[in-house]
Homo-oligomer: A and B are copies of this chain.
Amino acid sequence: MDNSKENLILQQQSSIPSFLTKTYDILENSNYSDIIQWNQDGKAFIIKKPYEFAKKILPKYFKHNNYTSFIRQLNIYDFHKIKNELGKHEFKHNFFQKEKKHLLCEIKRKSIEQQEQLEENNQIQSQYKINLYQPIIIHN
């Protein structure tokens, strides 16, 4: 059997936005642990070096190297910044936890106020929603 086709079907069924899977992948990469890492209990993550995160890691996964664009996406998916010591960049979402990748499918875009209305009208199509984004990384 063609594995690529099988994976394609899996991707279709899960339909998890690439922002979530990519961010999760970054956190699973132990090479980045000095820049970005899960917190102690694994229920949030800390960007320990925002500048290096933006310049070194972001362009490998996304089409930009802007820290603020990454933060905008976090807020779109309803992550929240945790208030703690000065200058600590810690973010949390109840369905974004270490060793619990299966919860990612529960995370929804926030601006669903309009989308919910549309989905109620188009319940059939929502089953076939597909995310086949393939990152094309352009370095300069």
Question: Chain A interface (Cβ within 8 Å of chain B)?
Answer: 3-4, 7, 11, 18, 51, 59, 63-66, 68, 78, 80-87, 92, 94-95, 106, 108, 114, 117, 127-128, 132, 134-140
Closest 9 CB pairs of A and B: A63-B63, A80-B135, A51-B51, A83-B137, A59-B138, A82-B135, A83-B135, A81-B135, A84-B138
Contact between A108 and B4 (Cβ–Cβ < 8 Å)? yes
Q: Indicate whether A139 sits within 8 Å of B84 (C-beta atoms), given known contacts A127-B117, A128-B114.
A: yes
- Which residues from chain B contact A108 at a C-beta distance below 8 Å? 4
Distance between Cα atoms of A15 and B18 in the complex (Å): 31
Q: Which of B65, B68, B128, B137 contacts A87 (CB 8 A)?
A: B65
- What are 28 A-B pairs with beta-carbon distances under 8 A? A4-B78, A4-B94, A4-B95, A4-B106, A4-B108, A7-B94, A18-B83, A51-B51, A59-B138, A63-B63, A63-B64, A64-B136, A80-B132, A80-B135, A80-B136, A82-B135, A82-B136, A82-B138, A83-B134, A83-B135, A83-B136, A83-B138, A84-B137, A86-B140, A92-B135, A92-B136, A117-B127, A117-B128
How many copies the complex holds: the figure is 3
User: Which residue of chain B lies nearest to A127 when distances are taken between CB atoms in the complex?
Assistant: B117
